[in-house]
Structure 1
Amino acid sequence: MHICFSLRPEGSMEIPLQYNHIVQAAVYSSIDADLAAFLHDQGYQSGNRRFKLFAFSRLMGRFQIDKEKGTIRFFDEVRLVISSPVDQFCQSIANGMLTKGRLRLGTAEAEVEKLVVRQLKVGEERIAVRTLSPAVIRKTLYKPEGGRYSCYMQPGEPDYDTLLESNLRKKYEALYGQAAPEGNVKVRRLGRGDMRLVNYKNTVIKGYTGVMELSGPTELLQMAVDAGLGSKNSQGFGCVEVVER
């Protein structure tokens, strides 16, 4: 399920340019306290992996960047999309936002004008999606002298499909408590895409933005659409929408 919130700043809304953690905090503060504690402290588990099973987009609207101050100022309507396969989460975030009527993003506030709920049902084994926030696929490599580092990847690179499919299977198992359906997930970029850098709490993360074709079992494609592509979804990465090809 996708929920698109329309926010209206009073005049304008200025927040740090690297704002993922601010939106994440706003999401947690808008849902039921018990659910927030469960997601933050435990989440949905598959093996030794834990998932929050929600994703959110970049803030979308007319904006101006101040590089010297490291801020971004939004004007007029600002849109935020939040997605999840968990009905309880979707109901909680919708009720919380509407009840409060306002969303605090750091020191800024915006009025919650309206929300639109969309059920993006995957009915075939091949879909096209557009990233609403960068999709993070990475693998851990080890340095010869010791230590390790993250190698961030984009569609078409070796292991990209395998890592994406493994992530989706673990999310499916974490939510439903059973093995995911058989079948491989394949990814093909459609048109030009870019790797974007995001600083999340002083950690630089790379994610791919663009339009991609996904093929594979419908259940895993549905998980990609609702829970997000790749990792770090609850930190503001991998939110996608289905597009007509």
Structure 2
Amino acid sequence: MQANITFQCNNLKLPIHYNHMLQGFIYKNIFDDDFREFLHEKGFEIDGRNFKLFSFSQLKGEYFYNRKEKTITFKDRVKLTVSSPVDDFNNEFLKSCLFSTNLQLNHQPIVVQEIDIDENKEKLNKVLIQTLSPITVYSTVQLNGRKRTIYYTPEDSLFSKYIKENIIKKAKIIYGEDFKKSDFKIEAVSRNKISENLIYFKKFIVKGWSGLFKIEGNEKLINTALDCGLGAKNSQGFGCIKLLR
């Protein structure tokens, strides 16, 4: 399920790299304390890995960019998409958004104006999607005794391979089924329809890709992608997507 939330604001000023603030806002506004702690500290475990099973978009709205201060200021309204297949997450987060009288982002008040819900229960095996936040795919290797992160581009065959492996694990948590033999492939519509993004998450640079992608494969894996996000670091604001057709 995707919740498209429009907030009223008054010159909401944020640093350019605000992903960690949105993540903190989401965790803070999960209404149930026990579920918040579970999701923040652990999440859903499978094959020795933990998944939070939510993603969120970059903010949309009319804004002013201050190059000198490296800040972005949204004038009077801003839109955030938060996506998850987990009912507890959706219910507890939206409950807080609807009933809290003190919502704040970067210590500035915001007020929910509208919430639009998309259930993401499509029966499709071929779709066109647009990123709402960049997709990041990487692996970590040892080089000369030090850890090094290698990021993959959509032109690299490992980009689709690692995304498929990742989405199969998420789908197994959600559906309780083994999807190892299921088809799933993602590729960019064209090279000029995607762009590379460099985003700081706290003190670390994350490379990702934004734009239009084609996905083919198992319908449950496609719905998992729409609900959970594609690639890595979804709960840090990467890989959130929307269905175009």
TM over 0.5: yes
1:102 Cα offset (Å): 4.7
Listed as ranges, the matches of 1:8-157 within 5 Å are: 8-10=8-10, 12-31=11-30, 32-143=32-143, 145-157=144-156
Indicate conservation of the 8 Å contact 1:55/1:236, yes or no. Answer: yes
How many corresponding residue pairs?
A: 242
Listed as ranges, the matches of 1:152-191 within 5 Å are: 152-180=151-179, 182-191=181-190
Question: Structure 1: which amino acid aligns with 2:127?
Answer: I
Map Cα deviations across residues 97-152 of structure 1 (whole Å, 9 max, x no partner): 00014531112221111211111222121111100001111122332x22221111
Indicate conservation of the 8 Å contact 1:130/1:240, yes or no. Answer: yes
Q: Find the aligned partners of 1:176 and 1:150 in 2 and give their Cα distance.
A: 31
1:177 Cα offset (Å): 3.9
Identity of aligned residues (%): 31
Unaligned runs of 5+ in 2: none
Q: Find the aligned partners of 1:234 and 1:170 in 2 and give their Cα distance.
A: 16
Indicate conservation of the 8 Å contact 1:44/1:175, yes or no. Answer: no
Deviates more, 1:87-96 or 1:219-228: 87-96
Deviates more, 1:149-158 or 1:54-63: 149-158
1:230 paired with 2:222, answer no
TM-score, reference length from structure 1: 0.94
Map Cα deviations across residues 39-64 of structure 1 (whole Å, 9 max, x no partner): 01120011111000000000100111
Q: Find the aligned partners of 1:7 and 1:104 in 2 and give their Cα distance.
A: 11
Question: Structure 2: which amino acid aligns with 1:168?
Answer: I
| Secondary structure at 1:27 match in 2 | helix
Map Cα deviations across residues 204-243 of structure 1 (whole Å, 9 max, x no partner): 0011100100011111111100000011001111100000
Q: Find the aligned partners of 1:189 and 1:103 in 2 and give their Cα distance.
A: 37
Moved over 6 A (4+): none
TM-score, reference length from structure 2: 0.94
